[in-house]
Amino acid sequence: MTPERSGATGLRMGIDVGSTNTDTVLVDADGSVTARAKVPAVADLAECIDTAVSSLLVRGTVDPAAVCAISLGTDRSQDSVDAGADLRRVAVLRIGAPLSGAIPPMATWPAGLRSMVDAGTAIVAGGCELDGTRIAPLDERAVARFADAVAGRADAVAVTAVFSPVDPADELRAARILADRLGPVTVSASHEIGSMGLLERENATVLNAALSGGVEHTASALRAVVRRHGMDAECFLTQRDGTLRALGHATRFPILAIGSGPANSMRGGAHGSGLADAVVVDVGGSRTTVGRLVDGFPDESTSPYTIGGVVTNLRLPDLVVLPLGGGSLRDARCNGGPLATLTDAAVADGRTTAGGVGVPESDRAGLARRLARYDQLLAEAVDRIGLGAHGLPVLVVGGGGGIAPDRLPGIGRVVRPPHGEVANAVGAAVAPVGGTAERICGGRPDLLRRAVEELSAEAVDHAVQAGAWPERVRVAGVEEIPLSYLRDPAVRVRVRAVGPPLVPPRMPGPPSGRPGVPSRSPARSPR
């Protein structure tokens, strides 16, 4: 269906580690799901991955060597911030003095989280105005002094300059000075993480740096499983924009993986249905998540995203989450269990079949009312996410999908794609590798044109660094969003490039008519 999937001539494996289950699928070069497994999730991520892969490969029908790409989706980064666990100590450098001193770095963080992450902060001279005019020359000596002051205390560094989305030069220069003096610590630069809004972008950058340790653990766990099972596959992590990044690149941007779960479900649902524009309803055990796919990618929210009490300007998929799902099947009435669940309601209503016991007559009136209420909330959520666009199809995925009705008011049709129960793993398996580039520039047409050209080249470059097949990367979208409340127009331009993953060559080789598989680039590390 999508051109991306044909990049792999072998099998692609998708793994989604959720809070309840780990889902795994294998997808062949034609995009068909050839194997799937669902195992209960445990606390240890490495164990989750290993169990899931084992259960898929144990059947003996799959040759591990035929697996050419493995994509892992996990929201463990989010858990890590919420729990304050596995976070690195971060030195936070802001460039913008004499401006910005009224709210120093991390001044708005909850004290507990700050005490775990803060390894020293400083504000040094530099940065620019919206039109690119320098606020002050970058104080390189102050950057060096800061590096010396935090050496030995900080495991990672976050650098944020005022208006770096307009001109990232000071961030890049400071990052180089810090790397030279501090050696092998992770340096996160804000222009690669977020957009306008200094404090929110800085917060996101600090969190990204803090998460860089945890994501490395995830990466090594995945690599170990791959080796143990005799696979020679390229490894990827899923991102919240519905794309993949190769491990070596993804570990630099752990924060971009937060929110990837819903993105994977949406893409997986779309894959099985052949739809690229749809509302996707993902019904789990305890909640229902409603999102929107636009041209194959998750629609993004405009609201700021708060994580662990820290406000960021990360743009997560725009979702409505209902605190209602199918319930635990094991405990359901239709399985002889003690709980009257919405799955029981759907069984009583004839929407789905589950369990073997049937639903007691005495429960039916109450269940019918709960199901009607669910239908109403779902219809409203679908309408809100679909922006009232009548006729938009609705894709129902997830393990509890049976409780969703076949008809919703104002909806064209309800589609239940094949393998919808493991849509998140399917989405991880089939996603393209992506790269983005973003900048704020003046609204003059010539400036805009030049920015789009430069950013397109940059986005393609980023996609290749993230592990895309260089010959087959294409620009998938150009966004131009005018900034509001400005006297002189300025535009935020964002370009996204995607391509199939570049994977190790397989026998019997690429299908005829395509260029030969290029040799693997020796280094995936970014510039």
Interface residue list for other proteins (CB under 8 A): 96, 98-103, 107-108, 129-130, 133, 135-136, 162-163, 196-200, 302-303, 311, 380, 383-385, 387-388, 482-489
Q: Which of 174, 260, 176 is nearest to 215 (CA)?
A: 260
Min. distance of Cβ 492 from other proteins in angstroms? Answer: 11
Min. distance of Cβ 160 from other proteins in angstroms? Answer: 10
Min. distance of Cβ 58 from other proteins in angstroms? Answer: 46
State which residue, 33 or 440, has the beta carbon closest to other proteins: 440
Q: Using alpha carbons only, give the angle 306, 311, 313 rounded to the nearest 5 degrees.
A: 95
Question: What end-to-end distance do the CA atoms of the chain give, in Å?
Answer: 34
Min. distance of Cβ 162 from other proteins in angstroms? Answer: 6
State which residue, 116 or 389, has the beta carbon closest to other proteins: 389
State which residue, 112 or 336, has the beta carbon closest to other proteins: 112
Angle separating helix axes 342-349 and 361-385, nearest 10 degrees: 100
Q: Which of 80, 13, 78 is nearest to 49 (CA)?
A: 13
Residue 217 vs residues 45, 87, 367: alpha-carbon distances, Å: 9, 11, 45
State which residue, 303 or 521, has the beta carbon closest to other proteins: 303
Count of Cβ atoms closer than 10 Å to residue 248 Cβ: 16
State which residue, 144 or 196, has the beta carbon closest to other proteins: 196
Min. distance of Cβ 286 from other proteins in angstroms? Answer: 20
The answer to whether residues 440 and 196 touch, using CB atoms and an 8 Å cutoff, is yes
Angle separating helix axes 212-228 and 45-57, nearest 10 degrees: 30
State which residue, 294 or 483, has the beta carbon closest to other proteins: 483
Min. distance of Cβ 476 from other proteins in angstroms? Answer: 25
Residues with Cβ < 8 Å from 349, sequence gap 6 or more?
367, 368, 371
The pair of three-digit structure tokens given for residue 164, joined into one six-digit string: 């770096």
The answer to whether residues 281 and 292 touch, using CB atoms and an 8 Å cutoff, is no
Min. distance of Cβ 196 from other proteins in angstroms? Answer: 5
The answer to whether residues 237 and 383 touch, using CB atoms and an 8 Å cutoff, is no
State which residue, 385 or 429, has the beta carbon closest to other proteins: 385
Measured distance CA(459)–CA(356) in Å, rounded: 53
Min. distance of Cβ 327 from other proteins in angstroms? Answer: 24
State which residue, 98 or 508, has the beta carbon closest to other proteins: 98
The answer to whether residues 498 and 477 touch, using CB atoms and an 8 Å cutoff, is no
The answer to whether residues 517 and 510 touch, using CB atoms and an 8 Å cutoff, is yes
Min. distance of Cβ 200 from other proteins in angstroms? Answer: 8
State which residue, 286 or 306, has the beta carbon closest to other proteins: 306
Strand pairing class (278-283; 394-397): parallel
Min. distance of Cβ 167 from other proteins in angstroms? Answer: 12
Measured distance CA(235)–CA(206) in Å, rounded: 26
Measured distance CA(158)–CA(122) in Å, rounded: 11
State which residue, 199 or 247, has the beta carbon closest to other proteins: 199
